[in-house]
Amino acid sequence: MKNKSFYTTSVVSLFKKILIPFLIFLFSSPVHSQPATSASGWYFTSYSFKEGSLRKESVLMGTTSKMYDTIYNKGDKGNMIITHNRYDVKTGKLVAGVSYKVIWSDPPAVLQPEEKTSIDFESKTISSLSWKAPQRSVYINQGLYGIYYITPGGEKYINKDISARLTTEKPIQKGTKGAKRLIQINFGNGFHAIYNYEWREGNTIQKPAQNVTANGWQLINYSFKDGSVKKNSVLMGTTSGLYDTISYKGDKGNIVITHNRYDVKTGKLLAGVSYKVIWSDPPAVLQPEEKTSIDFELKTISSLTWKAPQQSIRADQGLYGVYYITPGGEKYINKDISARLTTEKSIQKGTKGAKRLIQINFGNGFSATYTYEWR
């Protein structure tokens, strides 16, 4: 009996020595308690669209002639056609009207302080009778009067057809915890899109705002893979030494990549290519059962023997992924291009917490990755 009691006491003592330190480690370990980190900035929280569609009657000034106006739109977020027509009530004749297309990219999911930010914007008149497309603008409520996104020529108010990257006239200012900011894209005729942002300090990635009610893939992270390298090699079948340099310049959304090969002995440039890639961020939220688009431009700056390597954009959906294709249907880009690339298939629904990524491959080991989570 005494031996049994001693045995039991020994087991309990050993159990305490092993289990208690383990439990302390388990519940105090930073692996379990440390939140994900992120930079301070203005984080996208919600999107809304102001509908300007209406039908109204009026009387032509100085007459008794009645007119009626119809204003409506067709299309989806990022690509729509707005039409404003005026008819004579008595005859039904079209007296005046204009129809115009507007295409725009979403602003970044995170606005970085002390940096300017850009939006790709296109407006094109489709048809016109007497009237022209109304004034358009992109505005952010920073400062007393706000700041505008301006064209490469410096215009803040758009009164003609255009296809350009608009950039804020001033850098984005820092905020304070919980402060709100909005970007408003005005399309004319009462239509506009609003992107709401909230200032969040670094250290924690907060949950999406409660007013974002639709299910979807929400952007949670961006990363850039730098392919810069300098390496030596020997020309096949010879003893001639070569060295390659691969480098880039620029920032997110607009970079120039250069790959040159030199003769080690003479320093002579034997082959090389320098090319610019410009791209828009994908949407902050990918809607299920819808296709999604990215504006993409590739332009060769200089070339000796070589050409820019193959480019592509791919979402990791399904066994082989889903590619963003050109208007001509190509998924692999092997020549200079400036176009809106759209997924070949619709984005599928996910399950809570599932991850998805969009990868833009620029060639020469460079890539940009946007990571999403289903919420």
Summarize pLDDT for 227-249 with one digit per residue, the tens: 999 888 887 777 888 999 999 99
pLDDT at position 201 is: 82
**CATH class held by domain 223-374:** mainly beta
Task: Identify any residues that bridge with 224 across adjacent strands, giving them in sequence order.
Answer: 368
pLDDT at position 365 is: 93
Say yes or no to pLDDT of 373 above 80.
Answer: yes
Positive/negative CA dihedral, 316, 321, 326, 331: positive
Summarize pLDDT for 165-200 with one digit per residue, the tens: 999 999 999 998 889 999 999 999 999 999 999 998
Summarize pLDDT for 100-154 with one digit per residue, the tens: 999 998 998 889 899 999 999 999 999 999 999 999 999 999 988 889 999 999 9
Q: Which amino acid is at 331?
A: K
Query: Which residues, 6+ apart, have CB-to-CB distance to 115 below 8 Å?
Result: 171, 172, 251
pLDDT at position 76 is: 85
Angle 66-72-74 (CA atoms, 0-180°, nearest 5)?
Answer: 150
Strands 269-279 and 293-304 turn out to be antiparallel
Name the 3-class secondary structure at 278: strand
Of 319, 309, 316, the closest CA to residue 371 belongs to 316
Q: Decide: residue 362, CB within 10 A, 0-12 exposed, 13-18 middle, 19+ buried.
A: buried
Of 212, 247, 252, the closest CA to residue 231 belongs to 247
Say yes or no to pLDDT of 271 above 70.
Answer: yes
Domain segments of the chain: what residues?
Answer: 45-211, 223-374
Cβ atoms of 244 and 81 within 8 Å: the answer is no
Q: Report the predicted TM-score, pTM, of the whole model to 2 decimal places.
A: 0.50
Task: Report, as an integer, the average pLDDT of 318-330.
Answer: 92
